[in-house]
Amino acid sequence: MNKEVKNKLIQIVLSAISFIIAVIIERNMNLPMWENLLVFLVPYLIAGYDVLKEAVESILEGEFLGEDFLMTIATVGALAIGFLPNTESQFAEAVFVMLFFKIGELFEEIAEEKSEKAISELMNIRPDYANIEKNGKLKKVKPESIEVGDIIVVKPGERIPLDGIIKDGKSSLNTVALTGESIPRDVNEGDTANSGCINLSSLIKIKVTKIFEESTASKIIDLVENAAENKSQSEKFITKFSKYYTPVVVVTALVLAFIPPIILGNFSIWLTRALTFLVVSCPCALVISVPLTFFGGIGCASKKGILIKGANYIEKLSKVKTVVFDKTGTLTEGVFEVTAVHPEIYDENKLLHLAAHVERYSTHPIALSLKEAYEHEDDDCSVSEIKEYSGNGIKAKVNEDIVYVGNSKMMNEIGIKWKKCKHSGTIVHVAINDEYLGHIVISDRIKEEATETVREIRKNKIGTIMLTGDQENVAKAVAEKIGIDKYYSELLPQDKVSKLEEVISTNKEYTAFVGDGINDAPVLARSDIGIGMGGIGSDAAIEAANVVIMDDKVSKICKAIEISRRTLMIAKENIVFAIGIKILVLILASLGLATMWMAVFADVGVTVIAVINAMRTLYK
């Protein structure tokens, strides 16, 4: 419980005790009205001194339509109305309105505190210092002063201050603040270490690869802090609604107070109705609960390792009707391995030998799997004149021969007759000079949770599509195994953007794209809502995506959609409930059928209920 909540609680308790004493005095001592007023002013001022202060300040600033001003006018009017002829005092009602208003503020404070706690782990990932080794001694310095290439030392229990690569030592890292996962991640020399993680077991030395401003922790903190700026349509509606609603009800209250008495008389009766009307009119239930609902949704998602960059993306995500997946690294592990070798002339080893040499300098996952399959790639063969055919393959001179390694399109381009393969996987054809040597089958492992995730998405009546640069047979095999509705294969990076635009224009509904955030950045940016997978260490995911899954668990897409839908549903419940009750009691107040107690419920009571309802977004 923070200091502000404690102060409000003390204020409410003291006001409530003095209010009970005032009611007892009024009922048992038969004091003159002005003395009763003095008795009730004690609990009134204890509960409302800060409201009165805010009201005066708003008047001085030229803002007459704030909730503090409206509450002050209504309660001061209720205190004064008993001195009019033929009227009963409303001292108790005035104090109760102010007291209940403070109770509403208390609930608001508690709800905001809980929402802030939901993302406090993310806010706490900002490091206070970094240990840098100089002249054999450790020195604590500000993380902002560390440069790329510096070696920092992280002791057990300390938070990693900057992104880097482990140069010495091995340990376990607590990544819960980034990924939402409680299981520690084991790291060794050569592994990446991201800022914000906590070193659990052993001292490690890290070579810094990013300055503080570009580190994972800094980017995440910036995203969370700025999430409130991206308002949803519901929040924009409430802002616009309040802009017109409040002036209208204030003018209506003034008309109600002064026009009917001129015609019908009984000024005190109409003034009472106008004051009741004012109490009801405060739009705080909407202004407080709806933004709080979306903030709670963002906090709930962040606890589970899902970063949603703003309330507008919660709204879009809740209305998604099609999810488009990248394949490699999203639905599959992105871990390629040679599963079959089919030579035509040479033996299997010779075929792998030539393929590995040609792919020697490539960092593509398929090239890495070929080099891993051939263990003796560092022999005395000379490799030169390397030329890459984008999306199709590589040509190189190995000793005195020209060797081609690539897909069927490349074979067609160079006029080599190739053979089909019945195996499922990526087929890499190999040719030397003008002769076809055979092909190698490379397969990617499907993620364990991919099939269940796609099934869950389809269960929610959301269509699924897969885009991949792989060949038709590979794409078909993966799509059928996972249960994808449609797939498009053999796409170059620019083709993925075109195909996504085609899907968006055809569906005319919200479309989400899920990718690994590196080579898929253009597609993530083009989609209605981009979901970046494997956010740890991926700048492209954090920058291009609207939603970032802070680990590579595709199953969290379902959780993100579920949280978004629930958040939007709760926001709509609050809007309908608050507006419905207010309109009903405003009509009753104008007809003289609403008491001040009903007005209190329509304002503060509805606010408390809406705030409690909004807090449900934190727990899912």
Domain-by-domain residue ranges, the chain?
Answer: 130-161+163-209, 333-445
Structure tokens given for 477: 């095999």
- Region of 294 on the Ramachandran plot (φ > 0 left; ψ -120 to 50 alpha; else beta): alpha
| pLDDT tens digits, 468-483 | 887 787 888 889 989 9
Whole-model pTM over 0.95: no
Residue 537 has what pLDDT? 47
For tokens 């590995």, the residue is 356
Q: What is the mean pLDDT of the chain?
A: 82
**Crossing angle, helix 67-81 and helix 267-281, to 10 degrees?**
150
Residue 451 amino acid letter: T
| pLDDT tens digits, 369-380 | 787 777 665 667
- Region of 307 on the Ramachandran plot (φ > 0 left; ψ -120 to 50 alpha; else beta): beta
Give the span between the Cα atoms of 283 and 241, in whole angstroms. Answer: 9
Give the span between the Cα atoms of 304 and 315, in whole angstroms. Answer: 18
- Please say whether the dihedral angle defined by the alpha carbons of residues 20, 26, 29 and 31, taken in this order, is positive or negative: positive
Give the span between the Cα atoms of 131 and 146, in whole angstroms. Answer: 10
- Is the pLDDT at 64 greater than 70, yes or no? no
- Distances in Å between the Cα of 299 and the Cα atoms of 120, 121, 345, 368, 439 are 9, 10, 61, 40, 51
| pLDDT tens digits, 428-462 | 899 998 899 989 888 888 888 999 999 999 998 99
The H-assigned helical ranges of 304-345 are 311-318
Give the span between the Cα atoms of 199 and 178, in whole angstroms. Answer: 14
| pLDDT mean over 31-42 | 90
CATH number of 333-445: 3.40.1110.10
Residue 92 has what pLDDT? 85
Which active-site residues does the annotation give?
Answer: 326
Give the containing element (helix H, strand E) for 523. helix 521-526
The topology under which CATH files domain 130-161+163-209 is 2.70.150
Structure tokens given for 18: 């003095």
Give the span between the Cα atoms of 282 and 51, in whole angstroms. Answer: 14
- Give per-residue burial for 437-454: e unless 16+ CB within 10 Å, then b: bbbbbbbbebbebbeebb
| pLDDT tens digits, 573-593 | 998 998 888 888 888 888 878
Q: What are phi and psi of 268, to 5 degrees?
A: -65, -35
- Is the pLDDT at 544 greater than 70, yes or no? yes
Radius of gyration of the CA atoms of the chain, in A: 34
- Region of 10 on the Ramachandran plot (φ > 0 left; ψ -120 to 50 alpha; else beta): alpha
| pLDDT tens digits, 293-314 | 888 888 888 888 888 888 888 9
Query: Which strands sit side by side in the sheet containing 171-174, from one edge to the other?
Result: 185-187, 171-174, 198-199
